[in-house]
A and B are shown apart, each in its own frame.
Chain A
Amino acid sequence: MWQHLLQYEFLQNAYISGILIGLIAPLLGVFIVSKRLALIPDALSHVSLSGVAIATFLMSIGILPLGFNPMLLGIVFSIIGAIILWQLTRQFHNVQEIGIAILMSLSLGLSVIFIALAKGVKLDLTSYLFGSINTISRQDLVLIFILTVATLIFVKFQYRKLFAIVFDEDFIRVRNLRINLVNGTFFVFIGLVVAVSMKIVGVLLVSALMTLPVAIAIRLAKSFRQTIFYAIIAGEIGVISGLVSSYYLNLPSGGTIVVTLVLLLLLVFGYTKISSLLKKA
């Protein structure tokens, strides 16, 4: 495998982008799960898909050039969706669940319509739905690299505010700290990470990469910082084992990453259960 990794650019793209997403998806995932917003990545992945579908349609009627990367419109849609969801969670807290469901259904509906309308341009729908890491291009990789750096900088400099917001937003409001901009930017970053993760794990599995590592980490950690650390470790284990097993077994990367993470979760669950029983004994 190492020889092939050095030899083939598509494998390098796959591994590097996988490792980068394995870092930032669980990093944001910790804040998302803590804020009880686990449905948001799922909704945004659907929104993002509708962007890809509309880009394909626009390419088919000649408004966009045939060489256009549809993921770019997916990213734009994901950002718009993130801003809508941010406002929904902020101002319409009571109806946010139904709002998320409506946005998801609408996005999927639009995707189906525009994919059907896009005649003459072939969209590999399966790769967007279930992920196809081997189709990551150098251009995609550069995009993912820039996003990783931006996410790390954002979390590094806004960590305290982000933690305070997800932990107890009311308390921070009473403290009169300005949180709207940080909160909004956080949603935009979720949108961006979801959109670029689409090719790695697919629309249907992208939220798993943000939530499963967190589910593993919260069983082991004693503090929020530790939760982030363990979630990233779990995310990387999931991505790398998924990639390696998909290489050797020729299985789709998205599915193998998610199944690996679920197995890891079961393993950790068993470990914590046994160690708590041993403590009681």
Chain B
Amino acid sequence: MLTVKNLTYIIEQQIVLNDVNFEIETGDFAAVIGPNGSGKSTLLKCLLGMNTKYEGSILYDELPLKQFLKREKIGYVAQHSLRYNNSIPVSVQEVVATGCENLIGTKKAIAQALEKVGLIGFEKKRLSELSGGQQQRVFIARALAMKPRLLVLDEPTVGIDQARVKEFYALMMQLHREGMTIILVSHDVHLMNAEITKVIAINQGVAFNGNYEAYRRYHANYCECGES
């Protein structure tokens, strides 16, 4: 579904991404991980078309992003702190509506999206009154409202307590089983889940690319080497 070939990004003579290559298949639950400063946020911006001054190619179903978006949708859930101006009153239904077709949220479409994330009855609530975990679900509902083929989440577990993290993974697993392709970008290499089908560790280039089990072995060896 997604093919990244020879992706290189240089800004102010500094290499941020160097010859990144990987593929994500339809139905994958992929995790793109890496420490702060590894280039994963830049990679995410490139993948979503927010950054276009790169070398190499990014193809979705063998199409450039703009052409792919003409017939398919990508649901995007930004990092918690970047999402919105918290001081402005916005209701849950207003947020979810921006994910709906033509930005018009019919009651039915909004209810369907909120039902998926377990927030039925929250339509009229002010977003800032909800907990961090609930707010995250609202943003996932917004992404789901457009019925995307691919869901991309940036640092989804930042600012959420452990119990909510479990709930978050339960929701991701449910969506994955329903056939959704998911890409999760995170700096937290420990926040892994057995259901993740592909792990891509980024550190300017691709440091690791494989399945979850292989990643666990790689990570264990890496830690041992680091300790010795």
Contacts and interface: CB of A to CB of B under 8 A. Distances in A.
A36 B85 contact: yes
A33 B48 contact: no
A44 B83 CA distance: 28
Given A164-B103, A168-B83, A171-B98, A223 B78 contact: no
A139 interface: no
A218 B88 contact: yes
Given A163-B94, A167-B98, A174-B49, A227 B88 contact: yes
A224 B74 contact: no
A221 interface: yes
Contacts, number: 81
A79 B125 CA distance: 38
A163 B98 contact: yes
B63 interface: no
Interface in A197-241: 217-218, 221-227
Interface in B119-167: 124-126, 142, 146
A175 B88 contact: no
B122 to A, nearest CB: 12
Interface string B77-96: 01000111101111101110
Interface residues of A, number: 28
Contacts of B88: 33-34, 167, 218, 224, 227
19 contacts: A35-B85, A160-B98, A160-B103, A167-B85, A168-B98, A170-B50, A170-B76, A171-B78, A171-B98, A173-B50, A174-B49, A175-B69, A222-B89, A222-B124, A222-B126, A223-B93, A223-B94, A225-B94, A227-B88
Interface of B: 48-50, 66, 69-70, 73-74, 76, 78, 82-85, 87-91, 93-95, 97-99, 102-104, 124-126, 142, 146
Given A167-B84, A171-B76, A223-B89, 15 more contacts: A35-B85, A163-B103, A167-B85, A167-B94, A168-B78, A170-B48, A170-B50, A170-B76, A172-B98, A175-B146, A177-B103, A221-B89, A222-B126, A223-B126, A224-B90
